[in-house]
């Protein structure tokens, strides 16, 4: 099985980040262009699980004894720390930007009041990030629940993979995923809920555990597939390549139609997201298995993958700033598209600035 970086996944990261941004913008401006764009979050959770499992499998190929049982807490901590380092600077920048614009400039609080809010807000922000608190203070940003849920889910799932990799990814995680997704669907009528409860009982964390576990199981399935059907990867016929390419296009076509929320003039029920999630799983599996005609990994696809991070973390704050200064009613489609383009460009500018400061 090819284990290199997937250009297709990076492109999809970018497209789903834009979908999530457009979904939030549509909610803010009361537009019906994107009704179910939240489905992009499911994509990101599954990819996180797949890559975590692939990381462990890669280490185990180099060292069959990896890790020693005594190293499992240390290895888990190092992995979680690397994950936090990928996001923390954007996360902190978004929180500070929100604090400065809304608390200091818009509400015109004094320096003493601002310092008092910082002293109070940072501990609350930290507890909320750890999933131990549900208060939304001035530092809270739209992507906080996602990062918090992802970290808490990995704290549960990653040690399991380190301890018994095959058992976890082939048996335990599929069972966990089915049970938790079933719980979410029967309890809420959808698998996409968050900020209901705190800690590991929060719906967002349950959602993350279920979908990251599904992603790790998908890796095990991909390894099995590459061993049993190697000919589809190494020397496929043109007809098979075309068929598998069309299968990928169909899967993500279904997902993006669902994100749009309407089909042939009819509204698609939000409760259909569990079925769309299964189709998305198949599409991710085919992309990572690198079957059919693939988008090659390159500088452009890697840039798109990195840009998705900026869009996800900064668009919420930038959207809030935009909504506070422009009317949300009667906005034309052209102006709405211009707003989205502006937020996208400003997100990239913020990412560039944060990375520049971080390197120094």
Please report the pLDDT score of residue 187 as a whole number.
95
The pLDDT assigned to 134 comes to: 60
Instruction: Round to whole Å and give the CA distance between 256 and 276.
Output: 10
Please tell me the predicted confidence (pLDDT) of residue 360. 67
pLDDT in tens, 90-139: 888 888 888 888 877 777 777 787 778 777 777 766 766 666 666 666 67
Residue 302 has what pLDDT?
93
Domain boundaries, position 163: 7-359
Residue 216 lies in a domain: yes
In a domain, 26, yes or no: yes
b (16+ CB within 10 A) / e for 320-358: bbbeeeeeeeebeeeebeebbeebbebbbebbeebeeee
Residue 2 located in a structural domain? no
Full-model pTM: 0.92
Residue 264 lies in a domain: yes
Q: How many independent structural domains does the chain possess?
A: 1
Can you give the pLDDT at residue 2?
Answer: 46
* Residue 196 domain flag: yes
**Residue burial 182-215, b: 16+ Cβ < 10 Å; e: rest:** eebbeeeebbbbbeeebeeebbbbbbbbbbbbbb
Is 1 a domain residue? Answer: no
Q: What residues in the chain have per-residue pLDDT under 50?
A: 1-3
327 belongs to a structural domain: yes
- The span from the CA of 220 to the CA of 81, in Å, is 25
What's the N-to-C CA distance of the chain in angstroms? 39
Whole-number pLDDT of residue 1: 41
Helix (H) or strand (E) holding 267: strand 266-267
**Residue 208: which of 42, 91, 77 has the closest Cα?**
42
Backbone dihedral angles phi then psi of residue 59, each to the nearest 5 degrees? -65, -40
Residue 347, beta-bridge partner list: none
Q: Please name the residues in contact with 41: beta carbons below 8 A apart, sequence gap of 6 or more.
A: 20, 146, 192
């Amino acid at each position: 099985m090819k284990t290199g970086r997937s250009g297709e996944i990076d492109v999809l990261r970018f497209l789903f980040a834009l979908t999530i941004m457009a979904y939030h913008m549509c909610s803010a401006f009361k537009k019906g262009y994107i009704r179910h764009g939240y489905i992009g979050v499911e994509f990101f959770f599954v990819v996180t699980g797949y890559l975590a499992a692939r990381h462990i499998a890669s280490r185990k190929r180099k060292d069959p004894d990896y890790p020693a049982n005594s190293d499992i807490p240390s290895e888990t901590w190092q992995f979680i720390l690397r994950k936090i380092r990928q996001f923390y600077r954007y996360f902190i920048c978004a929180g500070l930007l929100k604090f400065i614009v809304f608390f200091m400039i818009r509400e015109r609080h004094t320096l003493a009041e601002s310092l008092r809010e910082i002293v109070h807000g940072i501990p609350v922000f930290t507890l909320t990030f750890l999933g131990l608190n549900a208060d939304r203070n001035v530092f809270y940003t739209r992507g906080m629940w996602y990062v918090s849920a992802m970290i808490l889910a990995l704290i549960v799932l990653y040690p399991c993979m380190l301890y018994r990799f095959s058992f976890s990814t082939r048996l335990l995680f599929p069972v966990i995923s089915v049970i938790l997704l079933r719980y979410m669907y029967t309890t809420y009528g959808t698998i996409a809920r968050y900020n209901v409860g705190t800690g590991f009982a929060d719906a967002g964390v349950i959602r993350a555990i279920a979908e990251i576990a599904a992603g790790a199981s998908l890796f095990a399935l991909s390894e099995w597939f590459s061993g049993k059907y190697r000919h589809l990867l190494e020397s496929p016929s043109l007809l098979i390549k075309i068929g598998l390419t069309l299968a990928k296009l169909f899967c993500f076509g279904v997902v993006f139609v669902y994100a749009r929320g309407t089909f042939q003039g009819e509204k698609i029920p939000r409760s259909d997201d569990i079925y769309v999630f299964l189709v998305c799983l198949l599409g991710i599996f085919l992309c990572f298995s690198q079957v059919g005609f693939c988008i090659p990994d390159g500088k452009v696809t890697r840039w798109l993958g990195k840009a998705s991070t900026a869009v996800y973390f900064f668009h919420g704050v930038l959207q809030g700033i935009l909504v506070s200064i422009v009317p949300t009613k009667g906005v034309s489609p052209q102006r709405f598209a211009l707003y989205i383009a502006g937020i996208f460009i400003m997100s990239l500018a913020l990412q560039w600035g944060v990375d520049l400061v971080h390197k120094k």
